[in-house]
Amino acid sequence: MNEKEILKELYIKLCDASITKNLDILEEILSDDYILVHMTGRKQTKQEYIDSVKNGELKYFKSIHENIEIKINGNEAILIGKTKILASPFGFSKSWWNLKQEILFIKENEKWIIKKSKAESY
């Protein structure tokens, strides 16, 4: 598997783990200093995000990946993912969201992890 395939797989793992509430996977693939910036501008740390998934504040049901672009520069990579997400975040009713995520990956000890995600609509 080449580097781009590994990064794409990590992005899909992030989406799938958020849907299935697989907190162990989220712990594994997110850096300790991970930051998520939501569409609203709200920021969450790794632990805040995991807690929100765990307690149902962020409910994800299904994802359909429409486009994934990846650029690698040494030990950093940027992935731009356009994904339709069926979700009910922060009390909103369950609906489909067109989610564009810009994800910063870093490679530490020969392993890629997710350092930052910024979400917006498309």
Structural domain harbouring 36: 3-121
The dihedral built from the CA positions of residue 92, 94, 99 and 104, taken in this order, carries a sign that is positive
Render pLDDT for 1-35 as a digit per residue (tens, 0 to 9): 899 999 999 999 999 999 999 999 999 999 999 99
Distance CA 113, CA 56 (A): 24
| Contact between 114 and 14 (Cβ < 8 Å) | yes
Q: 2 in helix, strand or coil?
A: coil
In the numeric block, the tokens 């992005």 are attached to 11
pLDDT value of residue 56: 95
Q: Over range 110-116, report the average pLDDT.
A: 97
Q: Over range 107-120, report the average pLDDT.
A: 97
Both tokens of 107, joined, read 């490679």
- Amino acid type, 54: K
Both tokens of 84, joined, read 């339709």
Q: What is the pTM of this model?
A: 0.94
The number of distinct structural domains making up the chain is 1
Both tokens of 9, joined, read 């797989």
Domain containing residue 61: CATH number = 3.10.450.50
Both tokens of 99, joined, read 């989610």
Render pLDDT for 35-68 as a digit per residue (tens, 0 to 9): 999 999 999 999 999 999 999 999 999 999 999 9
Q: Among 40, 52, 61, 48, which residue's Cα sits nearest to residue 121?
A: 40
Element (DSSP H or E) covering residue 9:
helix 3-20
